[in-house]
Amino acid sequence: MKILFVCSGNAHRSPLAEALLKKLRPDLTVDSAGIRTPIPISEEARAYLRRQDAEQYLKKTPETLDSKQLKDYDLIVAMQQRHKIAVTIRCPECENKTVVWDIEDPYDMPREDAEKSIRRLKRKSKNLPRPCDPQKSRNSFSQPPRFSPFSLRDRKLGPSPLARQSRHSTLSPSPSHVLNSLLMMRRTI
């Protein structure tokens, strides 16, 4: 499974999430990008990853969203709603596989607030589900799902049952719900 984390400048949240998830979940292919011209990766992110023994997973230089083939990812995690909008402007068909984690940018926050954001990011990364049995999920996600857990129904008729189950937002199901739904759909195809 390929996952892309998206934030503003690929300087703090998304590369940090990428590095943490690479350490926690070597079974996944993880990448990150920013929606605008990248700035250097923050020293705070480097220091945090050093303390977590995950600095070796940190990318060397930030990348922009324009450098990515968005259609190739199975899940795109936007740190804020504006990042999801940037993704869907570039790739309208990616809307159904993009979720929002609502994590504020710790880049210019006081250290205590930044640590809270980073802990939340780590907690959400840990909560991504494990893939199912490799024999059953061979070629998983090689075909697009037949239906989506998100739909126009959310905008017209209210949240779907999947969205109602999400404890994060009625508009954006949690990444674990999305991944579980995708894994279940793949098993039925």
CATH of the domain at 12: 3.40.50.2300
Amino acid, single-letter form, for residue 42: S
133 occurs within a structural domain: no
Asked if the structure places residue 187 within a domain, the reply is no
Residue of 46, 82, 102, 105 marked catalytic: 105
- Is residue 17, in this structure, part of any structural domain at all? yes
Note if the pTM is more than 0.95.
Answer: no
pLDDT at 64: 92
State residue 117's pLDDT score.
Answer: 82
Tokens linked to 32: 């990150």
Whether 7 is a known active-site residue: answer yes
Say whether 105 is catalytic: yes
Half-sphere exposure of 107 (CA within 13 A, CB side): 15
Q: In what order do the strands lie in the sheet with 75-78?
A: 29-34, 2-7, 75-78, 98-100
Residue 165: inside a domain: no
Domain-located, residue 137: no
Segment 52-57 long-range contacts (CB within 8 Å, at least 24 positions apart): 52/20, 52/23, 52/122, 53/23, 54/19, 54/20, 54/22, 54/23, 55/19, 57/18, 57/19, 57/20, 57/22, 57/23
pLDDT of residue 138: 36
Q: Is residue 186 part of a domain?
A: no
Domain membership of residue 100 as a residue range: 2-126
Domain-located, residue 13 = yes
Q: Along the 189 residues of the chain, how does pLDDT read in single tens digits?
A: 999 999 999 988 999 999 999 998 999 999 999 998 768 888 888 888 889 889 899 888 899 999 999 999 999 999 999 999 999 999 999 999 999 999 888 777 777 777 888 888 888 888 876 655 344 333 333 333 333 444 333 433 444 444 444 434 444 455 555 555 555 554 444
pLDDT for residue 134: 42
| 86 within a domain of the structure (yes/no) | yes
pLDDT computed for residue 127 by the predictor: 81
Question: What's the structural domain count of the chain?
Answer: 1
The one catalytic residue among 7, 25, 74, 186: 7
Question: What pLDDT shows up at residue 173?
Answer: 53
